[in-house]
């Protein structure tokens, strides 16, 4: 046994292996990102729900553009108010995961969006 938990059941819950995807984005990008993602994967949770995602409250993003950035090199750190984080899970293989990541990248307004993927139950 590899020690890696793939799935398990309780009397009430079925836990399955999935990929948790986190995307930081301006609020104005959220609906465009979600439309692109669900065109690739329905974001289903069980047989009764799809398009399941979570969104944080608006926060503050910190960054400093460097050489090669669309904004050009800047000395000062920018503070951008209002970005959110989207969270959702997909159960697909690496091809589905890759297609979802590519869909996000293509519609995101950032030159280099922050996209995190974690394996979870």
- Tens digit of each residue's pLDDT (9 = 90 or more) over 37-56: 999 999 998 889 999 999 99
pLDDT tops 80 at residue 98: yes
Q: Where does the pLDDT of residue 7 fall: very low under 50, low under 70, confident under 90, or very high at 90 and above?
A: confident
DSSP state letters, 21-63: EEEEE-GGGHHHHHHHHHHH----BTTTB-S--EEPPP-EEEE
Give the CA angle between residues 26, 60, 107 to the nearest 5°. 15
d(CA 86, CA 66): 26
């Amino acid at each position: 046994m590899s020690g890696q938990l793939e799935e398990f059941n309780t009397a009430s819950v079925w836990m399955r292996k999935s990929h948790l995807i986190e995307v930081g984005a301006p609020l104005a990008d959220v609906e465009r990102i979600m439309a692109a993602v669900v065109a690739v994967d329905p974001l289903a949770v069980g047989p009764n729900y799809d398009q399941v995602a979570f969104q944080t409250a608006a926060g503050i993003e910190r960054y400093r553009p460097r050489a090669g950035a669309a904004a050009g090199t800047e000395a000062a750190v920018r503070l951008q108010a209002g970005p959110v984080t989207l969270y959702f899970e997909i159960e697909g293989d690496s091809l589905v995961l890759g297609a979802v990541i590519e869909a996000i990248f293509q519609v995101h307004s950032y030159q280099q969006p922050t996209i995190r993927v974690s394996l979870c139950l």
